[in-house]
Amino acid sequence: MKKYNFNAGPCVLPRQAVEASIEAIRNFDNTGIGLLEISHRTPGWEKVMSDCVALWRELLNIPDNYKVLFLGGGASTQFFTVPSNLMSTKAAYLETGVWAKKAMKEAKFYGEAVTVASSADKNFSYIPKEYTIPKDADYFHITTNNTIYGTEIKEDIDSPITLVADMSSDIMSRPIDISKYGIIYGGAQKNVGPAGVTFVIVREDLLGKVERQIPSMVDYRSHIKNDSMFNTPPVFPIYVMFETLKWVKSLGGVEKMQEINQNKAALLYNEIDRNKMFVGTAAKEDRSLMNVCFVMHEDHKDKEAEFMTFAKEQGMVGIKGHRSVGGFRASIYNSCPVEAIEALVKCMQEFEKKNS
């Protein structure tokens, strides 16, 4: 049976990126040697690195005063790398979910981390809007897409201080005005590749301002100086990411991606709003285009397990909601084909019919 993969991360990848990566493992760049067996100092690999950086720059229109890094450690490593590099005394955080809280927890090792606003009162089902960013903080940290709760900051916000964004789960889903940000980071495994590589876009002039000594691996300047090859880079995840982004470019880039994502999300949200069996959990204006969270309607609470089984039988994979929200979550990142969403919608419609 055909499977439709809605996993939240790691998630579905474009088929052609997977196939090209398998071939590179067998025979990298027609060298007769596999990608996993070459030195990262070979010219062929250095070209992949520089071409991949160039593709990031092209797709997101990244200005020259920003550097693009591919590192290890996941977004979670950036939770402490960011304050280590930028925080002198104080940093401000927008608390929109578990990932934001985790980021803030790590910042507290370096100074005072303050919560500017929080949506914890309603289980992070919305994005706080009325808040004042403290001008005396070294940076303001946001999580643009809240993977677990299905809320998203869909427009670039204005910040009077350096804006730092965890874009793990919505990078490359829409155009971004990079100049509004100081640092953008994320794990690749949600929207741009497999697990194992972390992207960082950093405005270079922000670095070197803190007084603390920073261990080399945590200091962005070590990685900038060495074009992300201060130590052995995660070559395979970078390669798959490169192939994934070539696919994004072939479709028409991030503007086109945004249009496709808006249409895909609308298909599913319209069905959630129409179908009497289900309700969405996120505030409508903050609904994520990447992670669509929904639960059984109050009148059908007892049918949750039944729908899960029904959906599984129709080939749906990975639609169980995170334990802190419950119900269902369909992650419909860039690489999730519209056919998968159509199949899920059909499944929801059939389930409604079956129960009426």
Q: Is 151 in the site for ligand PLP (CB under 6 A)?
A: no
Q: Is 119 in the site for ligand PLP (CB under 6 A)?
A: no
Q: Is 281 in the site for ligand PLP (CB under 6 A)?
A: no
For every residue of 278-345, DSSP letters joined together read EEE-S-GGGB-SSEEEEEE-GGGGGGHHHHHHHHHHTTEES-BPPTTT-SEEEE--TTS-HHHHHHHH
Contacting residues for 311 by C-beta, under 8 A, at least 6 apart: 319, 344, 347, 351
Q: Is 154 in the site for ligand PLP (CB under 6 A)?
A: no
| CA–CA gap between residue 189 and residue 308 (Å, rounded) | 25
Q: Is 334 in the site for ligand PLP (CB under 6 A)?
A: no
Residue nearest to ligand PLP (CB): 187
Positions 45 through 74 that interact with ligand PLP (CB under 6 A): 74
Q: Is 169 in the site for ligand PLP (CB under 6 A)?
A: yes
Measured N-to-C along each axis, helices 338-354 and 304-313 cross at an angle, to the nearest 10 degrees, of 130
- Pairing relationship of beta strands 163-166 and 140-143 according to DSSP bridges: parallel
| CA–CA gap between residue 217 and residue 172 (Å, rounded) | 26
Q: Is 333 in the site for ligand PLP (CB under 6 A)?
A: no
Which of these ranges, 24-32, 131-139, 166-174, 327-335, lies near ligand PLP under the rule CB under 6 A?
166-174
Q: Is 193 in the site for ligand PLP (CB under 6 A)?
A: no
* Residues involved in catalysis: 99, 166, 190
Q: Which one among 70, 99, 126, 294 touches ligand PLP, defined by CB under 6 A?
A: 99
Return the closest-CA partner of residue 328 out of 298, 343, 307: 307
Q: Is 76 in the site for ligand PLP (CB under 6 A)?
A: yes
Q: Is 187 in the site for ligand PLP (CB under 6 A)?
A: yes
From first CA to last CA, the distance across the chain in angstroms is 27
Q: Which one among 166, 243, 271, 286 touches ligand PLP, defined by CB under 6 A?
A: 166
Return the closest-CA partner of residue 95 out of 138, 136, 126: 126
Q: Write down the least CB distance from residue 214 to ligand PLP, Å.
A: 20
Q: Which is nearer to ligand PLP, 223 or 300 (CB)?
A: 223
Contacting residues for 112 by C-beta, under 8 A, at least 6 apart: 89, 90, 91
Q: Is 239 in the site for ligand PLP (CB under 6 A)?
A: no
Q: Is 7 in the site for ligand PLP (CB under 6 A)?
A: no
Q: Write down the least CB distance from residue 80 to ligand PLP, Å.
A: 11
Q: Write down the least CB distance from residue 168 to ligand PLP, Å.
A: 4
| CA–CA gap between residue 157 and residue 271 (Å, rounded) | 30
Q: Write down the least CB distance from residue 9 to ligand PLP, Å.
A: 5
CB 198 within 8 A of CB 74: yes
Site residues for ligand PLP per CB under 6 A: 9, 74-76, 99, 143, 147, 166, 168-169, 187, 190
